[in-house]
Amino acid sequence: MVVISIREQKLRFAELCFPCSTGKAGVGSESGSGRTPLGRFKICSMHGENAPLLTVFRGRIPVGTYPAAAQGQDAILTRILALHGLEPHNANTRSRYIYIHGTNDTHLLGTPASHGCIRLAPQDMLTLYQRVSIGTPVCIE
């Protein structure tokens, strides 16, 4: 099980422990809130298999590599693990496009800084991606 601690801004899986960033606006499940949902989830899709480490994604489609393809944006890098909420209060997680993904804002890891997603350093994202599969349980607490 992947466990994400909002309080510690850490992601744990088996023996792995990585600094992460969750929602700058705090926790919650409201659409458009920029908040990170709490509770039980599962990985419902995985994107980026065999893509270069710093691949930039838009709409889960690779569009180039960082920094050239980022266009000054808050980039979604390396790999994407899409989440499906398993509880009534977080059932909209998939339609909110809440992911675990790599980030170019690595200097912000360890602090709430995302728009609701869980961000990891690109190399940490690659390591996690190689260890999980569709259906892997996720808990955000």
Q: How many CA atoms lie within 13 A of 9 on its CB side?
A: 19
What is the pLDDT of the chain when averaged over all its residues? 96
pLDDT digits (tens, 9 = 90+) for 91-125: 999 999 999 999 999 999 999 999 999 999 999 99
pLDDT for the residue 72: 67
Give the chain's length.
141
Average pLDDT over residues 127-141: 98
List the chain domain ranges: 2-140
Q: For a pLDDT cut of 90, what percent of the chain falls above it?
A: 94
CA distance 17 to 88: 28
CA distance 133 to 20: 20
pLDDT for the residue 45: 98
Instruction: Please give the structure tokens belonging to residue 69.
Output: 């393809």
pLDDT for the residue 67: 80
69 has pLDDT over 90 = no
pLDDT digits (tens, 9 = 90+) for 8-62: 999 999 999 999 999 999 999 999 999 999 999 999 999 999 999 999 999 999 9
CA distance 45 to 34: 21
Question: What CATH code would you report for 2-140?
Answer: 2.40.440.10
Which residue carries 């000054």 as its tokens?
Answer: 72
Is the link from the previous residue into 112 a cis peptide, with omega within 30 of 0? no
Instruction: Find the distance separating the first CA and the last CA of the chain, reported in whole Å.
Output: 13
pLDDT digits (tens, 9 = 90+) for 72-85: 678 999 999 999 99
